[in-house]
Amino acid sequence: MVIVTGAAAGMGKAIALKYAEAGAKVIANDLREEPLQALVNEAGSLAGSITPVAGDTSDEVVISKMIDEAKKLKRLDVLVCNAGIMDNFAPVEDVSDEMWQRVMNVNLNAPFRQIRAAMPLLETNKEGGSIIIVTSVGGLRGGPAGVTYVASKHGATGLMKAVAYASADKNVRCNAIAPGAVTTDIGKSMAAMYGKDIHEAGSAKSMKGIHLNPRSGSPEEIANIALFLGSSASSLINGTTITADAGWSTY
């Protein structure tokens, strides 16, 4: 049994389909119900299955619904905390409390709450449990976004490491994937979310290093890493971030 958040599009969708293709029963969460149902239909011919749970990924009630679905099979193998949002590229002096709280709630509070709720079930898995947090190269270094996003992803990296150490003797691993540029609809979602509120100067400064990026990745490439981290093939990997940016961050 696998839980994937932010599963209606982009990397989350690719991850959910990859696990279903491998035969897993997947609980897919996203804010929107329609694209989740489309995901269920798309996975209809695959070896596994997808059960949709729509709602705010940080909402305790929604999280409980996901855990309750896993409890029906009395096991949880993998939790993929993928849901995340960008900020509007604002530097610290222009960040509102609303922006800070909104981004932190999705990018940091939500994974914390999901892991807290899932841990008792993961710990009972005799074959071991795996937690995967999708962070960002922005969680390894600064620059690729505004201060709020970068701080949230650094926090998620710290959360991953703390959980990994604390749960290692309980046969539960926790790792992160830090994508660089990935070809998704993130631009459209940012436009819908922020519109004209994108901080132009902050965006321009953040994009200064984009020309150094060797190439953008695909959601499927990130899904391949997620499948590996959830499998026994990665049994010795714990507390680690796998950077997936085609070497962008090596410069």
For residue 149, indicate whether it is catalytic.
Answer: yes
222, two tokens: 């990130």
C-alpha neighbours within 13 Å on the C-beta side of residue 114: 35
Q: Report the SS3 class of residue 117.
A: helix
DSSP assignment of 191-245 equals: HHHHGGGS-HHHHHHHGGGGGG----B-HHHHHHHHHHHHSGGGTT--S-EEEES
Question: Per the residue annotation, which of 19, 149, 165, 194 is the catalytic one?
Answer: 149
180, two tokens: 């660089």
C-alpha neighbours within 13 Å on the C-beta side of residue 168: 12
Angle, CA 202 vertex, CA 198 and CA 206 arms, to 5°: 110
Q: Say if strands 241-244 and 78-81 run parallel, antiparallel, or are unpaired.
A: unpaired
Backbone angles phi, psi at 115, to 5 degrees: -65, -45
- Per the CB < 8 A criterion, the answer to whether 84 and 133 are in contact is no
Residues serving a catalytic function are: 149
